[in-house]
Structure 1
């Protein structure tokens, strides 16, 4: 049947193509996505205040789903598709953290996040869980403040008893992390402004992605308060975490379009378990060649940047000076991370060449 698809009517071919696309999207959706809140009223409420629990996987995933749904109407410049929203990268990233065991309690003091305990639990002792708080709870509080969740909606983030180093309301987060909240506010305000702008879609798209990544970067930089939690992990996992954060500087500067398809391509090859001291990234027997390739390249990029005193990242950022160079940068990042035949020396030479155009 499939082999003769070209002989069918145009309508039949269209239906088949839509089916294939839908099947791909279903595969890419974060685990347990269908169990998340599809509307704001599905979240827990107390005294007419939304009280989601960002330390519960399904609640946290729901925050992303609601943000995507609320901002989709303003994403016309990203192409007419419900999978083009750049926020998609965050729930896919959270799903990888969950399935790889990185949201579980790394201290062993509880069964939070373990298969033998509450699998939906996100440990406050997890470095990855702490980082995720900055990219889920905070943007959601900003989105609510900017009326994307409805007029006058108030939000209070639940926090486990005895934990005091996380902000729980918009005003609280503004007081503790003003730069983070300011940049998320600017992103959400920018969405509304872009919807009314007569500028070409290509310009609006690049501008919105710039605002999005500025907010995302502010969140990851502020998450340095989570670093004490890295002591719970092996040195190999800590090195991976640092190289992963280093990689974010490159994708941010290139205004990476973190839609479902692009995000899945970059997230799928990430290591499917926490690294141990005995692991040798790049040649780990129980990991796929794609996982080993990703670990090898990320380690190389971090090592070179450190050897150069941080100038590799600075050079990269300086080359991402226009829509054209950012487009080339996104393509090059894909080649570097996903194409084993792409030489690292080529990456360095292209950066040097691209700088001359800025």
Structure 2
């Protein structure tokens, strides 16, 4: 399969495949059970005590972020599900449903990370739980620090687990010291929201600016997490590690296009993700107990990641070069939209389109 045909196949599968469960009643998994107010989180001596290893508390961080930023997101479009931060709690829900929040140690007897556990918890040894930590705790602390959450009137302490405690942080000061670049970009995102939303610029430009700052922060968090969480990958099978790496790599494409990750779009792209953790014997695209859509997605994601590495990152570089202006990024999102929704879209034209776009920058 050539690159262009591969890209076309994976995005079409994103619509047709329904392997992964990422919503219930149109919202992230167990969203309605998660606390929606800061006052509902545990408090000791006036300091909010966040336990990010409690699934509902971590989901609550997202609920608080989305509720607090919704007033600044009118440029994203009408409706309650247009906030681009929705993709983050949807990912957390998929990780729970697919068993990726459990302890991956071969001899473990822990039930932590299973949806049936009570309360539902997240194992600190989970690579996926660790990656998500940097996309939940860090932005939440930055939002509190900037007053977007809590209006500058609250203090937050984050519980650090006993296992691999050095990879996590306990509060804003600690996180800023350990991960200054990621925290700075999240602060910039939250500090800029009100200014951008209240400007006299067009909604088109406001949306592009907000998405640009958000994706810059998400990419920095992912790069930070990739380094901090690397030891946990050793606990997984080689097929699962390859999938995890390719899954992280795919963020570069949507980030460069400043993809508007509302609930509807996010769910479409997440639907064909693997519904369970891969084992050593799994060889996509021939995994018997996974659907054809899951098998194809695993194969294609892995293939794209490998080709990009073999070519020294030139595939990602070309895409990024083509996304050089607000208008170009709009075309890039339209291109992704056509690839996803129109199976007859001529995939063979993708490379020439990107080359032309990059040349005109």
Fold equivalence (TM over 0.5): yes
Q: What CA distance in whole angstroms lies between the structure 1 residues aligned with 2:223 and 2:277?
A: 22
Q: What CA distance in whole angstroms lies between the structure 2 residues aligned with 1:277 and 1:317?
A: 34
The alpha carbon displacement at 1:330 in A equals: 2.3
Contact 1:100–1:271, Cα closer than 8 Å, also in 2: yes
Structure 2 portions without partners, runs of 5+: 1-22
Contact 1:104–1:114, Cα closer than 8 Å, also in 2: yes
1:185 partnered with 2:187: yes
1:154 partnered with 2:152: no
Say what the alpha-carbon RMSD is for the aligned residues. 1.9
Structure 1 portions without partners, runs of 5+: 1-24
SS for the counterpart of 1:50 is strand
1:33 corresponds in structure 2 to 31
Q: What CA distance in whole angstroms lies between the structure 2 residues aligned with 1:330 and 1:36?
A: 32
Contact 2:167–2:229, Cα closer than 8 Å, also in 1: no
1:13 corresponds in structure 2 to none
1:330 corresponds in structure 2 to 333
Q: What CA distance in whole angstroms lies between the structure 1 residues aligned with 2:340 and 2:234?
A: 28
1:140 corresponds in structure 2 to 140
Change (3 A) 1:125 1:26: closer
1:93 partnered with 2:91: yes
Change (3 A) 1:63 1:115: closer
1:280 corresponds in structure 2 to 283
SS for the counterpart of 2:82 is coil
Q: What CA distance in whole angstroms lies between the structure 1 residues aligned with 2:68 and 2:354?
A: 37
Please list the CA deviations of residues 125-148 of structure 1 after superposition, one character each: whole Å capped at 9, or x if unmatched. Answer: 111000000000000000001112
**Please, which moves more after superposition, 332-341 or 277-286?**
332-341
Aligned residues: 334
2:240 corresponds to which of 237, 241, 244: 237
Length-normalised TM-score, structure 1: 0.88
1:51 partnered with 2:49: yes
Mark the structure with the bigger radius of gyration: 1
1:9 corresponds in structure 2 to none
The alpha carbon displacement at 1:284 in A equals: 2.4
Change (3 A) 1:267 1:229: same
